[in-house]
């Protein structure tokens, strides 16, 4: 058993930023990560201040290098289980796949999300290159070029919302609903934004001369610079649920750990950072939130230390009766 102040589960931008903030606060920290970041397939991370077009791997490597001066241990492994050692004064034991055990006073869950892609052949093959999801992350690089938005069957409203958003980056946008019908109001909004609509089924997606080809029934092929897709997002880990944290039941944050703005979950001593609590955050937003969480963790540990010290003080003897 190795001891530390804080066990951080997940070592992408949120986990590493939390470790940096806590390390600079002179906390003993371990970051346990299995090397599978959500943005791993992407060629570049965009819209991250100070990091123009950096690759995900290079961004994380530079973050790990920044941790060298501090009491931060990086463990290349996966946390299989976390149990509460002492519920009175919270302490947690994290066990990794290789059997390594870490005991910490607090746990920061920064496990993040995974994306479920539309069930269309070729989408997964192009994911992270010519097939992407977020216009704020990738729209600038393909601005003013022909772009396609692919919806996800059964979620037409999300496809409409994404196509309307994408129209700000290009005047040449088509929404493929992949068989879903749209109501009159959605069609009017799309037309007002200059977005064309194709409700036919998409057979497959292939690499094209200038980006990506969308192939439909009868072999009809249309080329675009990039294909943006609607995804379903799922939490990468169920550790929050197994620790007893309340989860968001429905809506855009469904499955996320329920947490206040500082990352406090319903379980004392367990904190959630980045997209583990707020799935809509971009990479830079996840890092910023993780820094906020880390400062709150540090403050809570100080409060615990002071409370313990005051409890240990000898009580003054009562005054003698006159």
Among residues 187, 209, 229, the one where a domain terminates is 229
Coil, strand, or helix at residue 261?
Answer: coil
Q: Extract the tokens encoding 14.
A: 């949120």
What is the average pLDDT across 191-207? 97
In a domain, 322, yes or no: no
How do residues 148-157 score in pLDDT, each as one tens digit? 999 999 999 9
Coil, strand, or helix at residue 132?
Answer: strand
Statement to judge: residues 248 and 108 lie in one domain: yes
| pLDDT on residue 98 | 96
Statement to judge: residues 27 and 123 lie in one domain: no
In a domain, 318, yes or no: no
CA-to-CA distance for 262 and 304, rounded, in angstroms? 17
State yes or no: pLDDT of 87 exceeds 70: no
Q: Which residue has the tokens 């880390």?
A: 294
How do residues 52-72 score in pLDDT, each as one tens digit? 889 999 999 999 999 999 999
CA-to-CA distance for 8 and 29, rounded, in angstroms? 7
Residue 309 backbone dihedrals phi, psi, to 5 degrees: -65, -40
When computed from its CA atoms, the radius of gyration of the chain, rounded to whole angstroms, is 24
| pLDDT on residue 53 | 84
Statement to judge: residues 129 and 261 lie in one domain: no
Q: How confident is the model at residue 322 (pLDDT cuts 50, 70, 90)?
A: low
How do residues 267-298 score in pLDDT, each as one tens digit? 999 999 999 999 999 999 999 999 999 999 99
Statement to judge: residues 133 and 222 lie in one domain: yes
**Strand duo 173-176 + 147-150: pairing:** parallel
Q: How many CB atoms sit inside 10 A of residue 1's CB?
A: 9
State yes or no: pLDDT of 315 exceeds 80: no
State yes or no: pLDDT of 312 exceeds 80: no
Percentage of the residues of the chain whose pLDDT score is greater than 90: 87
Q: How confident is the model at residue 210 (pLDDT cuts 50, 70, 90)?
A: confident
In a domain, 321, yes or no: no
Domain range for 158: 118-229
How do residues 130-187 score in pLDDT, each as one tens digit? 999 999 999 999 999 999 999 999 999 999 999 999 999 999 999 999 999 999 999 9
Statement to judge: residues 92 and 142 lie in one domain: no
Longest dimension (CA), the chain: 105
- 179: domain CATH number is 3.50.50.60
| pLDDT on residue 250 | 87
Rounded mean pLDDT of the chain?
Answer: 94
Tell me the sheet residues that pair with 74.
Answer: 31
What is the average pLDDT across 28-49? 93
Statement to judge: residues 56 and 140 lie in one domain: no
């Amino acid at each position: 058993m190795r001891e530390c102040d804080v066990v951080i589960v997940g070592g992408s931008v949120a986990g590493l930023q939390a470790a940096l903030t806590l390390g600079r606060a002179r906390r003993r920290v371990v970051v346990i990560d299995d090397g599978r970041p959500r943005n791993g397939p992407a060629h570049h991370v965009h819209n991250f201040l100070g990091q123009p077009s950096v690759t995900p791997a290079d961004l994380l490597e530079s973050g790990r290098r920044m941790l060298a001066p501090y009491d931060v241990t990086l463990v290349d492994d996966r946390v299989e289980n976390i149990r509460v050692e002492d519920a009175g004064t919270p302490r947690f034991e994290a066990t990794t796949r290789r059997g390594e055990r870490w005991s910490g006073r607090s746990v920061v869950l920064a496990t993040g999300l995974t994306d479920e892609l539309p069930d269309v052949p070729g989408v997964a093959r192009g994911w992270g290159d010519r097939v992407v999801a977020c216009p704020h992350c990738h729209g600038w690089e393909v601005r003013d070029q022909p772009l396609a938005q692919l919806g996800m069957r059964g979620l037409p409203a999300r496809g409409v919302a994404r196509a309307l958003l994408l129209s700000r980056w290009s005047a040449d946008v088509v929404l493929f609903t992949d068989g879903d019908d749209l109501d009159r109001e959605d069609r009017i909004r799309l037309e007002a934004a200059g977005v064309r609509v194709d409700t036919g089924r998409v057979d497959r997606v292939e690499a094209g001369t200038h980006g990506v080809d969308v192939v439909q029934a009868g072999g009809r092929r249309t080329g675009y610079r990039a294909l943006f897709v609607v995804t379903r997002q799922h939490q990468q880990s169920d550790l929050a649920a197994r620790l007893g944290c309340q989860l968001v039941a429905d809506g855009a944050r469904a499955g996320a750990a329920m947490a206040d703005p500082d990352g406090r979950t319903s379980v004392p001593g367990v904190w959630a950072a980045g997209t583990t609590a707020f799935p809509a955050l971009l990479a830079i937003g996840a890092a910023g939130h993780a820094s906020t969480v880390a400062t709150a963790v540090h403050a809570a540990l100080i409060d615990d230390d002071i409370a313990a010290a005051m409890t240990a003080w000898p009580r003054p003897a009562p005054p003698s009766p006159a």
